[in-house]
Chain A
Amino acid sequence: MAGLEIVQSLINGVVYGTLLTLPAMGLTIIYAVLRFPSFAVAAHATVGAFAGYVANAVFGMPLLLAFAAGFLVSGLVGVLSDEAALKPLRGRGPLTVAIASIALTIVLENVLRFAFGNELRGYDVPLQRDWMISGIRIGPQQVVNLVVSVVLMLAIFAFFKFTRAGKAMRAVADNPMLASIRGVDPNMVRRFANFFGMALAGLGGMLIALDTSVNPLVGFRIMLPIFAAAIVGGMGSVPGAVVGGLTIGIAEQMSLLVIPPIYRTAVSFGVIMIVLTIRPAGFFGERGN
């Protein structure tokens, strides 16, 4: 029985970790290009969850279109809010911008709270019975979420590897000065990074909300795990975010075997402290220090 429980936790961990990976990738992309840790990924995860909710439960769109709505709306809000609130502060150091990104998070979160209230909402999806495969429980929605995240992850990798815009983003992340000499417009690239980063956060938030519920705190609740995932993988590294997301997901779910569930957030904090003490640059962070 104990063996089964461990396998079950491992599977839950992989599923949850894959969901975490999307916002963690978003955070790390923004960090690589804009050089500050944007706490606003939390708010945009919530924005994505609500955008998907409005598309799906209010306008009756199928889930696939709702995913697209969550992605696009949070990406657009990301670009607009950055232009309005954070961009003018960029000259004043990453810490000032990071603090401003918390203020921005509070503003966005409360706009949603004002409009939708605090109650827990759910998507309009049919209730499906979990599959039992030789004693292991798997939810159909979990499988859908897993597939969506993995497809998106692969798309992001392909984007960075093969497209001009992706290469431009990597160039600006590496050396903005050199990139601009070669004719890459850093401002456009920053906008791109913001759009993709926040869109990924939004989709991640929506997937997490599908698993739990839609409410104004969706993003804030996963903020520590997102940061932990990005730090474990190495801030600024996209493959690192995948490894980090899975690590945090599995660590958190496995820990539930031994600690009360309420302390699962503490696992992320513990992992952050350990990684920063032992290997501050994370698994893949070549520019961690």
Chain B
Amino acid sequence: MVNYLIAMLVTVGIYAVLALGLNVTWGMAGIANLGLAGFMAVGAYTTALVTKTFGFSIAAGMCLAVFASAALGILVSVGTLRLRGDYLAIVTLGFAEIVRLIASNETWLTNGTDGIAGISGPWRGQLSPVQFNWVYLGVTAALLAVSLLVCQLLARAPYGRVLRAIRDDETLVSVAGKSTFRFKLQAMAIGAGIMGLGGAMYAHYISYISPDVFRSLISLYIFLALTVGGTGNNYGALFGSLVLIALLEGSRFVFATVPAINAVQLAAAREMLIGLGLLLVLRFAPEGLIPERPKIFTRAATDITPRN
């Protein structure tokens, strides 16, 4: 039981990192990156390959994962970021599918749909499974803390203000003399890099990855986590991931008690729940549980505006 709870906490931590990455692009800069699953996959495969094939350390593998995802984030968006946001949404969604195609078919590199097994974990050989879980919980907490720190620094710095301004009114920002393209490209790279880290954390924890893990549905999970928590708020990303895992795990147990439901229906019901959950939150609680700004500031800001 304790082991299960630790495993769930690690999962929450990994989703929280992914949601933080999404918060940089979508929450702060307002860029609809729907390719989360793709960037996660790139991170996971990068670290799996370099640690297994070239014997890199896990830390080096994770760093390379971040860089590889960030580089692809730039590559995918450099052509489309100048256009309207909806094009980027389509392109990134397509990117995630292409990553999955490549992972499934370039068997020489990725072992195809069989996936890559036996990915190393920190001290996995020397520890009992329970001890390993504890160690990895620590690793996850540390990496999450670093990501959170980076994102908080970004959000508080003038840089974060520019991103939020681009989200709220891009024309205004470019009139003020900022290159919105450069800022958006950087936000995309940072977000993709963080998502790559999330993927790498997943790979070293589970020790097995396959193309099936990185379905586009994952992107929706992460959108749900961030929206529930509070889009634009880094702590919202954390809290929302907790809610997401509670929902995913809770529904597994609840739906399984329904008699005469088969495995496919169980999976379908859970996916339905996620989609429905996102629609409901978007409609009835768009600010999430931890809104970006406390209510009182919002009101003060609107009071002041007419006087300017």
Give A contacts to B, CB under 8 Å.
36-37, 39, 85, 88-89, 92, 94-96, 98-100, 102-107, 109-111, 113-114, 117-118, 223-224, 227, 231, 260, 262-263, 265-266, 268-269, 272-273, 276-277, 280, 289
Interface assignment of B3: CB less than 8 Å from any CB of chain A: no
Residues of A within 8 A of B32 (CB): 95, 98-99
Residues of B within 8 A of A280 (CB): 83, 87
Residue of A nearest to B31 (CB): A95
Annotate B260-293 by CB proximity to A: 1 below 8 A, 0 otherwise. 0010110111011011101100110010000000
Q: Are B101 and A265 in contact, CB atoms less than 8 angstroms apart?
A: yes
Q: Are A98 and B89 in contact, CB atoms less than 8 angstroms apart?
A: yes
Q: Are B279 and A107 in contact, CB atoms less than 8 angstroms apart?
A: yes
Complex interface: stretch among B12-20, B92-100, B124-132, B185-193: B92-100
Q: Are A37 and B269 in contact, CB atoms less than 8 angstroms apart?
A: no
Q: Are A269 and B223 in contact, CB atoms less than 8 angstroms apart?
A: no
Interface assignment of B217: CB less than 8 Å from any CB of chain A: yes
Contact of A37 among B86, B220, B286 (CB under 8 A): B86
In the complex, how many angstroms separate the beta carbon of A199 from the nearest chain B beta carbon?
22
Interface assignment of B306: CB less than 8 Å from any CB of chain A: no
With known contacts A114-B265, A280-B87, A289-B84, A224–B97 Cβ distance under 8 A: yes
Residues of A within 8 A of B199 (CB): none
Contact of B217 among A106, A262, A272 (CB under 8 A): A106
Residue of B nearest to A86 (CB): B279
In the complex, how many angstroms separate the beta carbon of B237 from the nearest chain A beta carbon?
16
Contact of B91 among A88, A99, A276, A289 (CB under 8 A): A276
Contact of B272 among A99, A114, A227, A266 (CB under 8 A): A114
For this complex, 23 residue pairs linking A to B, each with C-beta atoms less than 8 Å apart, are A36-B86, A37-B90, A99-B32, A99-B89, A100-B282, A103-B275, A103-B278, A103-B282, A105-B275, A107-B272, A113-B268, A114-B265, A114-B268, A117-B262, A224-B97, A227-B90, A260-B105, A262-B101, A265-B97, A266-B101, A272-B90, A280-B87, A289-B84
Contact of B271 among A95, A100, A106, A268 (CB under 8 A): A106
Q: Dominant SS at the B interface?
A: helix
A223 CA to B216 CA, complexed, in Å? 12
A106 CA to B220 CA, complexed, in Å? 9
Interface set, chain B 64-120, CB cutoff 8 A to A: 79-80, 83-87, 89-91, 93-95, 97-98, 101, 104-105
A262 CA to B283 CA, complexed, in Å? 39
Interface assignment of B34: CB less than 8 Å from any CB of chain A: yes
Interface assignment of B30: CB less than 8 Å from any CB of chain A: yes
Contact of B264 among A85, A102, A113 (CB under 8 A): A113
Contact of B86 among A95, A107, A223, A268 (CB under 8 A): A95
Residues of A within 8 A of B278 (CB): 99-100, 103
Residues of B within 8 A of A102 (CB): 34, 220
Residue of B nearest to A281 (CB): B83
Annotate B217-257 by CB proximity to A: 1 below 8 A, 0 otherwise. 10010010000000000000000000000000000000000
Q: Are A92 and B101 in contact, CB atoms less than 8 angstroms apart?
A: no
Q: Are B79 and A277 in contact, CB atoms less than 8 angstroms apart?
A: yes
Residues of B within 8 A of A262 (CB): 101, 104-105
Q: Are B91 and A110 in contact, CB atoms less than 8 angstroms apart?
A: no
Q: Are A272 and B94 in contact, CB atoms less than 8 angstroms apart?
A: yes
A260 CA to B220 CA, complexed, in Å? 30
Contact of A114 among B85, B269, B276, B286 (CB under 8 A): B269
Q: Are B86 and A276 in contact, CB atoms less than 8 angstroms apart?
A: no
Q: Are B269 and A104 in contact, CB atoms less than 8 angstroms apart?
A: no
Q: Are B89 and A95 in contact, CB atoms less than 8 angstroms apart?
A: yes
Residues of B within 8 A of A265 (CB): 97-98, 101
A92 CA to B286 CA, complexed, in Å? 10
Residues of A within 8 A of B274 (CB): 103, 106
In the complex, how many angstroms separate the beta carbon of B100 from the nearest chain A beta carbon?
10
In the complex, how many angstroms separate the beta carbon of A121 from the nearest chain B beta carbon?
14
Q: Are B89 and A231 in contact, CB atoms less than 8 angstroms apart?
A: no
With known contacts A98-B89, A99-B32, A231-B87, A110–B282 Cβ distance under 8 A: no
With known contacts A114-B265, A276-B79, A98–B86 Cβ distance under 8 A: yes
Residues of B within 8 A of A104 (CB): 275, 279
Q: Are A117 and B264 in contact, CB atoms less than 8 angstroms apart?
A: yes
In the complex, how many angstroms separate the beta carbon of A150 from the nearest chain B beta carbon?
27
| Residue of B87, B90, B101, B264 with highest tally of chain A CB at under 10 A | B90
